[in-house]
Chains A and B, each alone.
Chain A
Amino acid sequence: MNRFLAPLGIFATMVVLLAVGLTLNPREIPSPFIGKPAPEFSLAELDEKAAPITPEAFRGEVWIMNVWASWCVACQQEHPLLMEMADRNLIKLVGLNYKDKRNDAKKWLQRHGDPYGHIAFDESGDVGIDYGVYGVPETFVIDQDGIVQLKHIGPLTPDDLRDTILPLILTLTGGQS
């Protein structure tokens, strides 16, 4: 065995690793929330009418929390999809209005439509931090026991809805929705 072959061997291994690494499919950042209870919060509704919103109130049903803001360009991209979900009454849709101004948010909803059953108004962004939000829009699927089942970062696409979110909801609800 020629010990001078060692550098070549190490290099070959690196090339193989690199090549394998490059062909692997990219994955999302695994959220530390999956399988854990959704963090508690208590926030006023955007329209200030009803009592404060808490995740506790949605116990027993599967719901989606969608983080959005009027300043978020990408939110407009996924908005028609959310509207469609609301029209078809697919699932309970709760908005988390993240770091926004009340008037801006209301105007934005008037223009683009309001798909949300409730909207929690997170002016300071503290709840956003508790949910590890870093790229608006983000979407959480939370089950009957208040456990986070899925976190989606970035705008939802029809494909995401069809391939991941709807099947997940079906499994969670046992096909009753």
Chain B
Amino acid sequence: MIAEIGQFSLILALVFSTLLATLPLIGSLRGVVNLQQLARPVARTQFLLTLIAYICLTLAFLNNDFSVAYVANTSNSHLPLLYKISGVWGGHEGSLLLWTLILATWTMAVSFSKGIPEDMVARVLSVMGMIGFGFLLFTLMTSNPFDRLFPVPPEGRDLNPLLQDVGLAIHPPMLYVGYVGFSVAFAFSVAAMISGRFDAAWARWTRPWTNVAWLFLTIGIALGSWWAYYELGWGGWWFWDPVENASFMPWLIGTALIHSLAATEKRGVFKAWTVLLSVFAFSLSLLGTFLVRSGVLTSVHAFATDPERGLFILIFLTIVVGGSLSLFAWRAPKIVSRVHFNVISREMAILLNNIFLGILCFAVLIGTLYPLVLDALNMGKISVGPPYFDFIFMVIGIPLAAIIGIGTLIRWKKDQIKRINKTVLFSLVLSIAVGFFTPLLMDHYSFGAGLGIATGLFVIVLNITNLGARTSKGKRIKDLLGTPRSFYGMVVAHLGIGIFIIGVTMTNTYSIEKDIRMLPGDVHEIQGYGFGFKGITEVQGPNYRATQGRFDVTRNDKTLTTLRPEKRVYLVQQNPMTEAAIDAGFTRDLYVALGEPLEERNAWAVRVYFKPFIRWIWLGALVMALGGGLAASDKRYRRSKKYARASSPMVRSAVGSVVENNTAPVN
């Protein structure tokens, strides 16, 4: 019964998305206010219906309703409660439903926005309704999570053990909130293209949404990386796997978009480019979802076995991307951006930032697809892996980091090198001195490590000096308090980049990874830490059996902690899983994973890792996300709502004059 309610509300949601996709848009084109005003209530109803469907599926999981095929495939009555809830998105059908729900949520959130003209809201919501329509149709036609199974199996096939983990339970929702969040920027751009109006207001409306989407995507990717680190048992944090690359590409373009939006809002430049970026960011998000979900990249096999889904994906992508790019080709010639900035200007820095980020995204794309293309052209089989990506990111990333540092110092429109050269020189000398000194403290010197640390420090030092430069003697605190949050957002996000770069450099250069054979009683020493193997015990989990090792970690004869890595065998799917035990620390992680029992009695193969500064990688990502949050919560966006609510003819005309000025053609 519950499944039928879910199914029914999903169909109703499809109906409402159809209404949302058409009526308000027609209303805005014909100037029918009544139709435009339908947008908000319809968007909210669509959200409620999708939510009901989602709740129904969750209830089916909680009730162990194995008559629902999807539940039977991805759950089990012994599954812990948390994983029953997260199991809802543990498979293809459910994760698609989650995607749809998140899209409906963003749509609903936009429906509450104030201070935006009604016809604009109508167009934006319509565009989001179109995307919602596509996804609901896809769900209902090819991947219905409510399909019944007969005969009803007595027990479910259980959730993939890899997914039975807190990190991975929250990783997909975060990632999806980010992916789908870019649909708002996309919808604003498409709406602006439909109307042909590209004013500063359009960029200002889009910015906070994009920042929030970006911050979630950042957290989502970081969570995925963190999960891979402790769950896969290899101690790596990024593998340049096609699935990872699929989430990284929208992030790179999204980052470029945030910056070009800033320039568009503040200076009215790069308008067409910003529109294009917002189209790309969302298209890549779609591509990412689909590639991961359909398995086109990891295995064409999956794509071929389900041609219906594959075909739908291809058609949907073609319509969304092809449609918006056609609209772009038609409307962009009317978008006028004036290039009135010097070579030394913030605009130029942002342009360079966009070029570099775009190239990085291009490299990820070409690296991911190149083996497929070569193979399709019968030119041989190759692998493109970490050495390629690491090389490109090092060569292009270091100048990008320099641009990040210097760019924030430069003023809009035009600036003089001599105004900033002292600050830059000071930061350069300081970061090079400290950066190249630091490796001396480690167990071996590495020029690469020095370069990496110097690069990270350069970004950090310049951003802090930049903040300092906003204050004047005598009233520093007051000046700091008066600095807008968006400025703090910028500084903090860039500090995150610096922290991230240092973390990556230290981890990649100074990690120690040992595969060793240990008998109970053995002690192995790495970097002054003694790992004493105490033996193995059998442990029973709720839905698995585990072999648990015990390791006492000592330093200077004092016991620091006890690590208990496990090898688990999940009862239903019978695959062995490695649960590493980690002692996390600010400057180092100690990591122990059980390998295999060896032939001699009681001896085990053990992986012992020493990972310096690895936490800084995820800390950097979190700090970046925090920066995004600060920027999105800037007073400017909130006040814009307030004064628009009280919008008087006087303000309107004042804003209007700016807008007119702005859209007036040049030459």
Contact = CB atoms under 8 A, between A and B. Distances in A.
Contact flag (A, B; Cβ within 8 A):
yes
Contact of B328 (A8, A17, A22, A26): A8
A4 B326 contact: no
Contact of A4 (B272, B303, B372, B380): B272
A21 B332 contact: no
B376 A7 contact: no
Contacts of B272: 4
B376 A15 contact: no
A24 B310 CA distance: 15
Interface in B302-347: 303, 310, 314, 318, 321-322, 325-326, 328-329, 332-333
Nearest to A19: B314
B322 A8 contact: yes
A21 B373 contact: yes
A7 B300 contact: no
Contact of A27 (B318, B321, B325, B378): B378
A17 B376 CA distance: 9
A176 B325 CA distance: 64
A12 interface: yes
Nearest to B310: A22
Interface in A1-60: 2, 4-5, 7-8, 11-12, 15, 17-22, 24, 26-27, 29-30
Nearest to A29: B381
B276 interface: yes
Given A11-B321, A11-B322, A5 B376 contact: no
A8 B380 contact: no
- Is the interface on chain B under 10, 10 to 19, 20 to 34, or 35 or more residues? 20 to 34
A99 to B, nearest CB: 15
A4 B381 contact: no
B381 A7 contact: no
A7 B328 contact: yes
Given A21-B372, A24-B376, A8 B329 contact: yes
Contacts of B300: 22, 26
B376 A8 contact: no
Chain A's interface: helix, strand, loop or mixed, by majority?
helix
Contacts of B321: 11
Nearest to B330: A4
Contact of B381 (A15, A24, A30): A30
A21 B378 CA distance: 11
Interface residues of A, number: 19
Contacts of B381: 29-30
A30 B329 contact: no
Of B314, B325, B328, chain A has the most CB atoms within 10 Å of the CB of B325
A140 to B, nearest CB: 19
A19 B325 CA distance: 19
B333 A4 contact: yes
A21 B380 CA distance: 14
B333 A8 contact: no
A29 B382 CA distance: 10
Residue with the highest number of chain B CB atoms closer than 10 Å, among A17, A19, A20: A17
B328 A4 contact: yes
Nearest to B331: A4
A18 B294 CA distance: 15
Interface in B372-386: 372-373, 375-376, 378, 380-381
Given A20-B376, A22-B300, A24-B376, A7 B322 contact: no
A19 B279 CA distance: 22
A19 B333 CA distance: 30
Contacts of A15: 314, 318, 322
B336 to A, nearest CB: 13
A2 B329 contact: yes
A30 B374 CA distance: 13
Among B276, B322, B329, B375, find the residue whose CB has the most chain A CB atoms closer than 10 A. Answer: B329
Nearest to B318: A15
Interface string B261-294: 0000000000010001001000000000000000
Given A7-B276, A11-B325, A30-B381, A21 B333 contact: no
Nearest to A5: B329
Given A21-B373, A24-B376, A30-B381, A8 B314 contact: no
A20 B276 CA distance: 26
A21 B376 contact: yes
Contacts of B328: 4, 7-8
Given A15-B318, A22-B300, A29-B381, A4 B332 contact: yes
Contacts of B380: 30
Interface in B339-392: 372-373, 375-376, 378, 380-381
A62 B263 CA distance: 72
A12 B314 contact: no
A24 to B, nearest CB: 5
Contacts of A30: 380-381
Given A8-B322, A29-B381, A22 B303 contact: yes
B373 A17 contact: yes
A143 B401 CA distance: 59
Contacts of B375: 27
A42 to B, nearest CB: 28
B186 to A, nearest CB: 14
Contacts of B303: 22
A15 B272 CA distance: 23
Nearest to A23: B376
30 contacts: A2-B329, A2-B333, A4-B272, A4-B328, A4-B329, A4-B332, A4-B333, A7-B276, A7-B279, A7-B328, A7-B329, A8-B325, A8-B328, A8-B329, A11-B321, A11-B322, A11-B325, A12-B322, A15-B314, A15-B318, A15-B322, A17-B376, A18-B314, A21-B372, A21-B376, A22-B300, A24-B376, A27-B375, A27-B378, A30-B380
What are the 3 tightest A-B residue pairs by CB atom distance, in nearest-first order?
A4-B332, A21-B376, A8-B325
Interface of A: 2, 4-5, 7-8, 11-12, 15, 17-22, 24, 26-27, 29-30
